[in-house]
Copies of this chain bind each other. A is one copy, B any other.
Amino acid sequence: MARRVPLYQAKAEFFRMLGHPVRIRVLELLQDGPMPVRDLLAAIEVESSNLSQQLAVLRRSGIVTATRDGPTVVYALAGGDVAELMRAARRILTEMAAGQAGLLAELREAEASAS
C-alpha cells in the first residue's frame, strides 16, 4: 500500500521538481498549449537526450502528460494552472529583487558562475 508522505515533504518534492531551468521553460512553453518535443527542442537549447530526461522528470511527477501522435510525441500540462504558480513566484521574486540588495548580489553571482 501507499506509504504516507507528510504534506511538507510532498510540497518540497514538488518545488524541487520545478527547480531546474529547462523544466521551468518547458512548463512555461506548455502554458500556451500542447507542444511536440520537436518544438520544445527548438525553443530550448539543450541536447535532445537531456531534454528527454527533464521531460521524464516532469512526467513522473505527473505535472505533464505525453501522448504519441504518429512519430512525434506531444506534451501538455496535465491539469490546472501552473500559470498562477508562476505568477506568484514572479511576484515574490520581483518583490525580493526590488527591496533587497541581497538578491541582486545573489543573482549576479549566480550569473557569473553559469555564464
Contacts and interface: CB of A to CB of B under 8 A. Distances in A.
Copies of this protein in the complex: 2
29 contacts: A2-B102, A2-B104, A4-B102, A5-B107, A5-B110, A5-B111, A5-B114, A7-B90, A8-B28, A11-B89, A12-B18, A12-B20, A14-B89, A15-B15, A15-B18, A16-B16, A17-B19, A60-B102, A61-B103, A62-B99, A78-B96, A78-B100, A79-B96, A79-B99, A80-B95, A81-B91, A85-B85, A85-B88, A85-B89
Interface string A41-72: 00000000000000000001111000000000
A6 interface: yes
A33 interface: no
